[in-house]
Copies of this chain bind each other. A is one copy, B any other.
């Protein structure tokens, strides 16, 4: 019976600044990518978000990013691989301490924003990111881009000895070569709940995606990324979960849960 994980970025509030609807979305997802205080998040937010995840049976992952709170980690920074390695170790260590505090294990690591995109494209960065994860805990799962474009990132993760979870995006348009359509192009983000739920179902059940020209490509994915930053986004997550369950797909954390 097919199984899929739903992951969502969480814990992106900072001090007095609230972001996301973590409390609402926790009910529908299976894995939470929790910000580690660099591009977003702070120690109180991290602690509370891990606690919330545990109480919902949601598996905890790290969501490390660039040292750029002002840009929310969305701007590439010309850091060396050695710098990024150490930035990753630091952030992973911090989130692990909150996992211990709340009696859970860190399940996975998914780099955030520009750091994810850089790891997709830049081999030394991909290696630094993967090696940092291994150095902190060799049992961690590395969430890496599914499809053709993510091959290098995934391979390096596997080379260093990590389990890699392939990630697809039900609300994003794909080109026939299996890459994500640029957000700058209209239609790159799909907003119709039924269409997104259909795409999620096809990804989970058939490992297939319908691309922008109507062709169907094979894309293996063990986890689907969903969003929880607006009431509409939360409803969409609920709809995706409902569609998957109705079709007999098992929803479970990528690491299999406890």
A residues near B (Cβ < 8 Å) are 14-17, 19, 37, 40, 42-44, 46-47, 67-72, 74-79, 82-83, 86-87, 89-98, 100-101, 114, 135-136
Nearest neighbor of A98 in chain B, beta-carbon distance: B89
Chain A to chain B contacts (Cβ below 8 Å), 8 pairs = A16-B40, A16-B72, A42-B70, A93-B95, A93-B97, A93-B98, A97-B136, A100-B135
Whether the pair B97, A14 counts as a contact (CB closer than 8 A) is no
Residues of B within 8 A of A16 (CB): 19, 40, 72, 74
Whether the pair B69, A15 counts as a contact (CB closer than 8 A) is yes
Whether the pair A70, B14 counts as a contact (CB closer than 8 A) is yes
Cα distance, A50 to B214, chains bound together (Å): 48
Nearest neighbor of A37 in chain B, beta-carbon distance: B90
Residues of B within 8 A of A75 (CB): 77-79
Q: Which of A14, A17, A83 has the most CB of B within 10 A?
A: A17
A148 to chain B, nearest CB (A): 24
With A86-B43, A135-B100 known as contacts, the answer to whether A70 contacts B72 (CB < 8 A) is no
Cα distance, A70 to B95, chains bound together (Å): 18
Cα distance, A92 to B14, chains bound together (Å): 20
Residues of B within 8 A of A96 (CB): 93, 96-97
A115 to chain B, nearest CB (A): 12
A131 to chain B, nearest CB (A): 10
> With contacts A43-B90, A91-B94 known, what are 13 further pairs, Cβ within 8 A?
A17-B19, A43-B83, A43-B86, A43-B89, A68-B68, A75-B78, A75-B79, A77-B77, A89-B98, A89-B101, A93-B94, A93-B98, A100-B136
